[in-house]
Structure 1
Amino acid sequence: MHASNKNTHRKTLLLVVLVCLAPVIASYLSYYVFKPAGGVVNYGKLIEPAQPIPPSLVVQTENGDVTPLQTLKGKWLLLAVDASACPENCVKKLYFMRQVRVAQGIERERVETVWLRTDSAPVSPVVQQAYPEMRFLSANAMALAKWLPVEGSMQLTDYIYLVDPNGNLIMRFPPNPNPGKIKKDLSKLLKWSSIG
């Protein structure tokens, strides 16, 4: 065999080996060297670990009945916290929560919207008429602050929270949220979970 043919065969073999190894090398570099941030497919921030409803957290209904918040276990809960006066930000959250629930179609019966008020003032009749399916409950602000996480200088009143049917706080949606993205997150959870 001529030396030139031998070199050609070696080059061809080397080229075949490189072509076969290229995907392995590329995946190694992309995972270990470039460190992609991927993996986040949800809009809301996951609460890790999930925070169960504290057994000591009690709420008062509009009728004046006092009951543990845990009695709401069994459904997916969209929660908002605010004062009964309900400023503009509060009105938006209540509206978004209602729309997200309605957008679930036949699955909406698995979802309950809850407004946790930090005072015992009565709910405006206008709000009651606008949101007949919503639960209006009063709770101690300090007790809620121990359970519901916030970031930095944010407040409880900035967020919408999601509690699973087992009574675990699992997700927090950002201030001034995009209701379409909340709907998408909730739809996925309802689709893949048989509970609630």
Structure 2
Amino acid sequence: MSPSHSQRAPANAGRDRRNRFLLLLIAAIFLGSFVIAGALRFSGWRPAGMKNHGELLQPPGDLRDTQAVLADGGAYPWNPAGRTWRIALAPPAGCAEACVELAASLDTVWQLFGRNADHVHILWIGTPPPDARRNSAWRVLQPDPALIGGLPRHADVTGEAAGVPVYVVDPNGFVILRYAPGFDPGHLRQDMARLLKLK
């Protein structure tokens, strides 16, 4: 004999409640993940591996229309198609020992890029000290006020250690990161390594 309708009803009602509960639980997990992600996003939290060490410039500096000129008088084109990233600095006249040390640090950072080193130029705006270590990435540029003016807060070293700020310029000519004087060169290397993967 088959069970009567009245005997099947409690079993079906229990199964329906369980199914409804599971459906609500799945919906809560799904929607809850969006709520948590939105809260983290709007609070400014980012995973440690995604944070840059340099100061993200908002808005970025814009050097696209600046005519950079090499020390020998030749033009330095931005050439976005070349996908070349730049590390730029404009030390003051008379910067000696500190600039020699900075040049050595930038040389070490550049060499650590390995096979990606060919996609990075070091733009030294002005006259480097004679003892500064150089490599094939160096491009010495004439100190044009428009070029230096395109480096956000270049002269703003109030509250910072004495020295020279360093900038990262993207392939299009936008100045996107600033490193305060006395920065850790390892931080520049880490940030640049992530950026070079974007090419």
TM-score, length-normalised on structure 1? 0.68
Give SS of 1:173's match. strand
Asked if the contact 2:60–2:174 (Cα under 8 Å) also holds between the matched residues in 1, the reply is no
- Two-structure CA RMSD over aligned residues (Å): 3.6
Q: Residues 17 and 72 (structure 1 numbering): CA distance in 2 closer, same or farther, change over 3 Å?
A: closer
For residue 5 of structure 1, report the CA deviation from its aligned partner: 5.5
Amino acid in the other structure paired with 1:148? L
- For these two proteins, the number of residue pairs brought into alignment is 180
Select 2:22's aligned residue among 2, 16, 20. Answer: 16
Q: Write the deviation string for residues 115-165 of structure 1: whole angstroms up to 9, x where unpaired.
A: 112xxxx543222xx22543333313x42343121299448x642222234
Do structure 1's residue 125 and structure 2's residue 130 form an aligned pair? yes
Select 1:112's aligned residue among 89, 104, 121. Answer: 121
For residue 29 of structure 1, report the CA deviation from its aligned partner: 2.1
Q: Match of 2:170? A: 164
Q: Match of 1:135? A: 139
Q: Which runs of 5+ in 2 are unaligned?
A: 1-5
Q: Residues 38 and 89 (structure 1 numbering): CA distance in 2 closer, same or farther, change over 3 Å?
A: farther
Q: Write the deviation string for residues 41-89 of structure 1: whole angstroms up to 9, x where unpaired.
A: 251425656623334x44461xxx4344437874332111111322565
Amino acid in the other structure paired with 1:66? G
Q: Match of 1:102? A: 111
Q: Which runs of 5+ in 1 are unaligned?
A: none
Asked if the contact 1:53–1:69 (Cα under 8 Å) also holds between the matched residues in 2, the reply is no
Do structure 1's residue 83 and structure 2's residue 88 form an aligned pair? no
TM-score, length-normalised on structure 2? 0.67
Percent identity at matched positions?
A: 21
Structure whose alpha-carbon radius of gyration is higher: 2
2:155 & 2:31 partners in 1: Cα distance? 41
Asked if the contact 2:61–2:150 (Cα under 8 Å) also holds between the matched residues in 1, the reply is no
Q: Residues 92 and 22 (structure 1 numbering): CA distance in 2 closer, same or farther, change over 3 Å?
A: farther
Give SS of 1:53's match. coil
Q: Match of 1:52? A: 63
Do structure 1's residue 150 and structure 2's residue 161 form an aligned pair? no
Asked if the contact 2:86–2:121 (Cα under 8 Å) also holds between the matched residues in 1, the reply is yes
For residue 15 of structure 1, report the CA deviation from its aligned partner: 2.0
1:131 & 1:16 partners in 2: Cα distance? 66
Give SS of 1:126's match. coil
Asked if the contact 1:30–1:36 (Cα under 8 Å) also holds between the matched residues in 2, the reply is no
Asked if the contact 2:78–2:171 (Cα under 8 Å) also holds between the matched residues in 1, the reply is no
For residue 37 of structure 1, report the CA deviation from its aligned partner: 2.2
1:77 & 1:88 partners in 2: Cα distance? 23
For residue 173 of structure 1, report the CA deviation from its aligned partner: 3.1
